[in-house]
Amino acid sequence: MNNSFVQAVRLVSAREIQARIRSKAFVVSALILIGMVVASIVVGGIVSKATADDTIPVAVVDGVSLPTTSGLDVTKSASVDDAERLVTTGDVDAAIVPSDDPLGYKVVGLDEAPSEVVSALSVTPRIELLDPDALPGGLVYLIAIAFGVVYFASAVTFGQSIAQSVVEEKSTRVVEILMSAIPARALLAGKVLGNSIMAFAQIVAVAVAAIVTLAVTGQDNMFAMLGPSILWFIGFFAIGFVLLASLFAAAAVLVSRQEDVGSVTTPVMMLVMIPYFLIIVAYDNPTILGIMSYVPFSAPIGMPMRIFLGTAEWWEPILSLLIVAASVVAVVVIGARVYENALLRTGSRVKLSEALRG
């Protein structure tokens, strides 16, 4: 690879990066995506804390022995009068005072039977969980949506940007001027590299925002659970997006009008949408997640999800990443051939078979 080729790739990629940074639509969409992630973490933390702190304030007279205080916020009282006074003033919902019945205590309420306190004091049978480490279904679903949305939004935003840029250069004949100065493969490499860098930067920004928000809101347990899967997600996306970017460019180069971009990029869009829908509807299906984690187009979200769930062996992410990398090499080679052979052909849509033959 000579210096002129590398210099050409560098110039094109720098141009693509500058175009994205100067785009108000890109900046706004990136901020919205980051804001959505931060908001979801904050709201999730508030709900989780509210659920954890959902205890019932009660006054308990000294000497009363309770079977359990789980779910109760106990305030000790020296006498029955003190306990009843706390109920009257509204400081507690109920008072538990000594009684002559077999239990040895009774519950005192203000104007109605404190059913929540009675339920909290009820003796429940011993419970044994077959899978005590299982994550809550709601939490798993939210994480699946988060991975899916970030993957889908980033892939579509930058993929469509590449496609529109390719067609714009063909329709305005700018590509003929560019081709007189740099080779087609350098132009393609620069576009893919520039947009891949920006997509990677956006993913990193989202990940950093998520990690900082988790730390600031005191969700240490969630931080520990999500950390490894977020890092693997970044790695998978960094490599996997190159594959998608090459496909978007190769598909778009077959047409010369902006109105035709949608039709030629639909198959590529499907490769992004199918994993997005699968991760949402099959987030708890180990078989589907297992298949997704080894398919190059879905591995960037399938494998991180399995890592979060703890169902992936230590060697599986490495093997999956190697499969994605090998697929990237194959797609880039084929995409470069299509791009090079169809770039200067304007007018009617170029058939894929013709672009492959040259």
Tell me which of 54 and 7 has the higher pLDDT: 7
Q: Comparing C-alpha atoms, which of 265, 273, 270 is closest to residue 246?
A: 265
257: Cα separation from own chain's centroid: 34
- Determine, yes or no, domain membership for 126: no
Interval 177-194: pLDDT, tens = 888 888 999 999 999 999
Task: Give the SS3 label for residue 134.
Answer: coil
Interval 108-127: pLDDT, tens = 888 776 777 777 676 665 65
In angstroms, the CA 307 to CA 1 distance is 38
187 and 286 housed in the same domain: yes
- Determine, yes or no, domain membership for 252: yes
Please state the pTM of the whole predicted model: 0.79
Q: What is the mean pLDDT of residues 291-316?
A: 96
- Determine, yes or no, domain membership for 67: yes
Domain containing 326 equals 3-47+135-357
186 and 292 housed in the same domain: yes
- Determine, yes or no, domain membership for 109: yes
Please tell me the predicted confidence (pLDDT) of residue 336.
94
- Determine, yes or no, domain membership for 129: no
- How many structural domains compose the chain? 2
Please tell me the predicted confidence (pLDDT) of residue 293.
97
Please tell me the predicted confidence (pLDDT) of residue 11.
93
96 and 25 housed in the same domain: no
30 and 107 housed in the same domain: no
Confidence of residue 73 (pLDDT cuts 50, 70, 90): confident
Interval 17-49: pLDDT, tens = 999 999 898 899 999 999 998 988 888 777 666
Q: What is the mean pLDDT of residues 322-349?
A: 93
Please tell me the predicted confidence (pLDDT) of residue 101.
77
CATH of the domain at 71: 3.40.190.10
In angstroms, the CA 335 to CA 328 distance is 10
143 and 271 housed in the same domain: yes
175 and 266 housed in the same domain: yes
Please tell me the predicted confidence (pLDDT) of residue 132.
54
Check residue 332 and report its DSSP letter: H
- Determine, yes or no, domain membership for 11: yes
Please tell me the predicted confidence (pLDDT) of residue 8.
92
- Helix extents (H) in the chain: 3-22, 24-52, 80-89, 115-121, 137-171, 174-179, 184-216, 220-252, 261-281, 286-292, 299-309, 316-342, 352-357
8 Å CB contact between 150 and 206 = yes
Q: Tell me, what amino acid is at 200?
A: F
Please tell me the predicted confidence (pLDDT) of residue 69.
67
Q: How far, in Å, are 64, 178, 200, 284 from residue 234 at the CA level?
A: 56, 33, 7, 22
41 and 73 housed in the same domain: no
158 and 277 housed in the same domain: yes
Question: How does the average pLDDT of the chain come out, rounded?
Answer: 88
92 and 186 housed in the same domain: no
211 and 256 housed in the same domain: yes
Please tell me the predicted confidence (pLDDT) of residue 139.
80
In angstroms, the CA 302 to CA 281 distance is 12
Q: How far, in Å, are 236, 275, 319, 321 from residue 299 at the CA level?
A: 7, 9, 11, 8
- Determine, yes or no, domain membership for 72: yes
In angstroms, the CA 312 to CA 316 distance is 6
195 and 250 housed in the same domain: yes
Return the residue matching tokens 């005192």.
108
In angstroms, the CA 39 to CA 297 distance is 28
Confidence of residue 337 (pLDDT cuts 50, 70, 90): very high
245 and 110 housed in the same domain: no
